[in-house]
Amino acid sequence: MRKLVSIAPLVLLMACQDWPEPVIHSVSPSEMRASEATALALDAELILPATVDYNEGTIEVDTQVSVRIGPLDVPTLAVSPEGVISTRVPSMLAPGSYDVKVTLGDGRTAVRTGGLTVVEGEWPESYSIDPIGPQRRLVPFTVTVRATGANAAAFRGNVRLETGAGSTVGPRVSEPFVDGVLTQQVVVDSVQSDMAIRVTDIAGHVGTSNTFLLQ
């Protein structure tokens, strides 16, 4: 994302210098449960890249900031003027230590080695999906998924959404459950008319919907 702002002569001079590399000072919290989606705050030093228009006296600032936790790209929810990056990590990482990487719009990066530790989680035993009636291809509809068994009521993680061969469902990763229940809009496309949705977590627990008609 690029933002156009007016600039003073001093800022014009600063804009001509090489931009320093970003730095991640801290990740908070530095630990999360594998079974729980977790909000993170990255305290970082960010000098955003800019393009100067001397004739107009403006500077175009590239505000793009992306975050990666180990193998997982996570959303940038907000960046404060002080350089605090807000993000949320879904429960898609196995227990272990993960590097935290920030990339700016011009490709400069910062890495905090082992910045996030994922510890063992508490998973439900399985999942049930409320009955799904006939649906239309590529038209959003709501699916309700319930965690079942031990730890179900406290579950606040994410699951993967899957369908059979020759079909697609979006999103591929759900929103977090709220106290063991997920209400999620999905879109399905398939060459088949008989369809079912399957949910799985990284610990191997599964739930499958009824077979429904996709028109």
39-78 pLDDT tens trace: 999 999 998 887 777 777 777 878 899 999 999 999 999 9
Residue 102: pLDDT above 60? yes
Q: What is the DSSP letter of 12?
A: H
Nearest Cα residue to 29 out of 69, 59, 2: 69
Residue 2: pLDDT above 60? no
Q: Which CATH number is 187's domain given?
A: 2.60.40.10
Shared domain for 102 and 39, answered yes or no, is: yes
How many structural domains compose the chain?
2
Shared domain for 37 and 92, answered yes or no, is: yes
The whole-angstrom separation of Cα 109 and Cα 92 is 23
Shared domain for 175 and 190, answered yes or no, is: yes
In the predicted model, what is the mean pLDDT of the chain?
91
DSSP string, 146-202: EEESTT-TT-B---EEE--TTEEEE-SBPPPPBTTEEEEEEEEEES-SEE--EEE-T
For residue 93, which amino acid is it?
A: L
Select from 119, 149, 175 the last residue of a domain: 119
Identify the three-state secondary structure at position 73.
Answer: strand
Task: Say which residue, 28 or 54, is predicted with more confidence.
Answer: 28
Shared domain for 202 and 175, answered yes or no, is: yes
For residue 27, which amino acid is it?
A: V
Shared domain for 115 and 133, answered yes or no, is: no
Count each helix (H run) and each strand (E run) in the chain, helices first.
1, 21
Shared domain for 113 and 184, answered yes or no, is: no
Shared domain for 20 and 37, answered yes or no, is: yes
The pLDDT value recorded for residue 214 is 97
| Backbone phi, psi, residue 93, to 5° | -120, 130
Select from 119, 143, 162 the last residue of a domain: 119
C-beta atoms surrounding 120 within 10 Å: 11
Which residues pair with residue 198 across a beta bridge?
162, 208
Half-sphere CA count of 72, side-chain side, radius 13 A: 17
The pLDDT value recorded for residue 1 is 53
The whole-angstrom separation of Cα 103 and Cα 100 is 10
Residue 35: pLDDT above 80? yes
Residue 55 domain boundaries: 2-119
195-213: average pLDDT:
97
73-96: average pLDDT:
96
The whole-angstrom separation of Cα 19 and Cα 109 is 12
Nearest Cα residue to 186 out of 148, 147, 155, 159: 159
Residue 8: pLDDT above 50? no
Shared domain for 42 and 108, answered yes or no, is: yes
Residue 128: pLDDT above 70? yes
Residue 11: pLDDT above 60? no
User: Tokens 């210098």 correspond to what residue?
Assistant: 17
C-beta atoms surrounding 71 within 10 Å: 9
Shared domain for 54 and 146, answered yes or no, is: no
Chain Cα centroid distance, residue 214: 29
Task: Say which residue, 77 or 18, is predicted with more confidence.
Answer: 77
Shared domain for 115 and 28, answered yes or no, is: yes
Shared domain for 115 and 204, answered yes or no, is: no
Select from 62, 87, 119 the last residue of a domain: 119
Provide the percentage of residues in the chain whose pLDDT is more than 90.
79
Shared domain for 109 and 88, answered yes or no, is: yes
